[in-house]
Amino acid sequence: MAYILKRRAVWASLSRQTDIPRCLGSSSIQGQLAVPLEKEMRSAKPTSEIPGPKARPVIGSLLNMPRGLKFDKKAAHKLYVTMHNTYGSIYRMTVPIVGSFTIVTDPDDCEKLLRLTMHNPQRMPMASIKSVREKAADGFFKNRTGILLENGEEWWRVRSKVQTPMMKPKLVGAYLQQMDRVSSEFTDRIAQLQAEHGEMPSDFQFELYKWALESVSLVALNRRMGCLNPDVSQDSNALRMIEVVNDIFQSLNDMEMGSMLWRIMPTATYRKLKMRHEQFLEIATQNIRETEAAILAEDPNSERELSLMENLLLTEGLTREDVIILILDMLTAGIDTTAHTLGFALYLLARNPQVQAKLQAEIDTVLGDYEGPLLPKHMAQFSYLKAVLRETLRVFPPAIAMVRILDQDAVLGGYIVPKGDKVIYPNVVAAWDEKHFPQAKEFIPDRWLRSRPLGPIHPYASLPFAAGARMCIGRRIAEQEMYTFLARVMQRFTVDYKYQDIDMMTRLIAMPSEPLRFNFTERR
């Protein structure tokens, strides 16, 4: 009966053309974390003594970077590694227009930073796309740009309402069999490409994007997009959406990691981002309207469990626009991140056949002769599979750094870091450091097993989904997608790779530097 009442409420909500005003209430973000800093402050070194390249007026630290260092916005992680090797675990630098940053690379400092900012976790938004949304001609966003971009009260207003449904294991688990079906279908696509080309074509990464959109749309839109249909048209909305998202990430990387002139005048890249964002909004909202129409067409007395979208539409304090913006961000963030991670995972498995064989043995043991869909009991037994993914995320973290803005003075790395400072923790540095991960350059999933055969792991040394109150809200969804992919691909194939080494390059997030020309061999 409860499901019927909820479904009728969703149906009634979507039938109305206007949103019901809701009282937002008071936010729980109040005050600051009480930390006994006085003694620590007295013994700390002043901010002026933090190492780093000397800053000059207007140009900042650019002319005083370490000798031979040339910043490459396609390899931003190399800057952090070089600066760490030059200045140590804490340093400071100034970027024109943006201002000064303090960078810490010690996991202890990361933990301290997150605890200090836990009640008001502000970060630098992607200012370029925030600007695009704030200036949207149709006023759709109403100065509310979504939890990825907002800080303070507005961020917490939405985050506090959506984190329970989005991270609830039961709700995410309800999509397991559908995700499994998508991954099983994708193995057929792999077999087809292998037969046609003798290996994966140079654009295999785009095939992974199709799998990723098909998987995330199950949750975000409660339906399939048809990406894996062999007859899908190249100008279909689904494939156009992938191309648009790729361009959005490229434009964001060019602006956020490059020249800041767009802050002064609308550059060609800014105009491209604006155009692509408008196209994405048009395609995505069309699909959202179709999903809403499908909900309205259903029997409101149906007793099936509510989808994520339905749960969000019923959440007190969220408007329909809030839900749509969240779905837009799920679709944007849910394509490249998982597709790139799995490209890296396949590469690492191909380069480490002993790891691949151990993973296949676990999958064979767990599934045996079972031919049905993956079930929660299977997922619970995939300990090595989960370790493989965790190690992939250490070696090739999708987000190379996270930022917090201090709302109080702090002591980090033995120095005073003042209130208002932007503090960066480049997760990639600690993740590659022998001090935190013995044999750090090697792909060793066993290190993540419960027995910790290579020693204990600092909980803040590898944070692919960030941590704390601003941890990636789609983490459970993304992990489940990737688990089903690896389980089905490794159950059916052995993967090989014979070409040049693949490195990490950045397009705001990390992606493989070379074409994914894998060779897949049927196991049986």
CATH number for the domain harbouring residue 306: 1.10.630.10
Hunting for tokens 């449904």 — which residue is that?
Answer: 165
- Give the separation between CA 68 and CA 220, rounded to whole angstroms: 46
221's tokens = 């839109």
The dihedral sign for the CA sequence 386, 389, 395, 400: negative
Q: Is residue 21 part of a domain?
A: no
Residue 105 vs residue 12, higher pLDDT: 105
- Give the separation between CA 175 and CA 181, rounded to whole angstroms: 10
State the pLDDT confidence band at 36, using cuts at 50, 70 and 90.
low
State the pLDDT confidence band at 22, using cuts at 50, 70 and 90.
very low
Distances (CA, A) of 523 to 52, 204, 488, 493: 53, 21, 12, 5
Q: Is residue 382 part of a domain?
A: yes
Task: Report the amino acid identity of residue 271.
Answer: R
Helix (H), strand (E) at residue 179:
helix 176-197
Q: Kindly report, residue by residue over 368-397, the tens digit of the pLDDT.
A: 999 999 999 999 999 999 999 999 999 999
What residues pair up with 417 in beta bridges, in sequence order? 410
Q: Taking a C-beta distance cutoff of 8 angstroms, is the pair 442, 425 a contact?
A: no
Q: Kindly report, residue by residue over 504-521, the tens digit of the pLDDT.
A: 999 889 999 999 999 999
Predicted confidence at residue 37, as pLDDT, reads 66
Q: Is residue 318 part of a domain?
A: yes
What domain count does the chain have?
1
Helix (H), strand (E) at residue 13:
helix 2-15
Predicted confidence at residue 402, as pLDDT, reads 93
Q: Taking a C-beta distance cutoff of 8 angstroms, is the pair 117, 123 a contact?
A: no
511 CB-near residues (< 8 Å, 6+ apart): 205, 336, 340, 343, 504, 505
- Give the separation between CA 178 and CA 338, rounded to whole angstroms: 17
- pTM score of the predicted model: 0.90
Q: Kindly report, residue by residue over 431-451, the tens digit of the pLDDT.
A: 999 999 999 999 999 999 999
Q: Is residue 25 part of a domain?
A: no
**Helix (H/G/I), strand (E/B), else coil: 509:** strand
Q: Is residue 28 part of a domain?
A: no
Q: Is residue 27 part of a domain?
A: no
Distances (CA, A) of 365 to 53, 224, 353: 55, 31, 18
Length of the chain: 524
The dihedral sign for the CA sequence 469, 389, 431, 74: negative
Q: Is residue 250 part of a domain?
A: yes
Q: Taking a C-beta distance cutoff of 8 angstroms, is the pair 416, 41 a contact?
A: yes
What residues pair up with 495 in beta bridges, in sequence order? 520
Write down the mean pLDDT value for the chain: 88
Hunting for tokens 């402050």 — which residue is that?
Answer: 41
Q: Taking a C-beta distance cutoff of 8 angstroms, is the pair 327, 220 a contact?
A: yes
Q: Is residue 363 part of a domain?
A: yes
Q: Taking a C-beta distance cutoff of 8 angstroms, is the pair 116, 416 a contact?
A: no
- The predicted model gives 205-215 an average pLDDT of 97
Structural domain including 276 reads 2-14+33-522
What number of other Cβ atoms are within 10 A of residue 169's Cβ? 10
Q: Taking a C-beta distance cutoff of 8 angstroms, is the pair 6, 314 a contact?
A: yes
Q: Where is average pLDDT lowest: 22-36, 220-234, 335-349? A: 22-36
Predicted confidence at residue 18, as pLDDT, reads 32
For 239, phi and psi rounded to 5 degrees?
A: -70, -35
Looking at the predicted structure, is the pLDDT value of residue 123 above 80?
yes
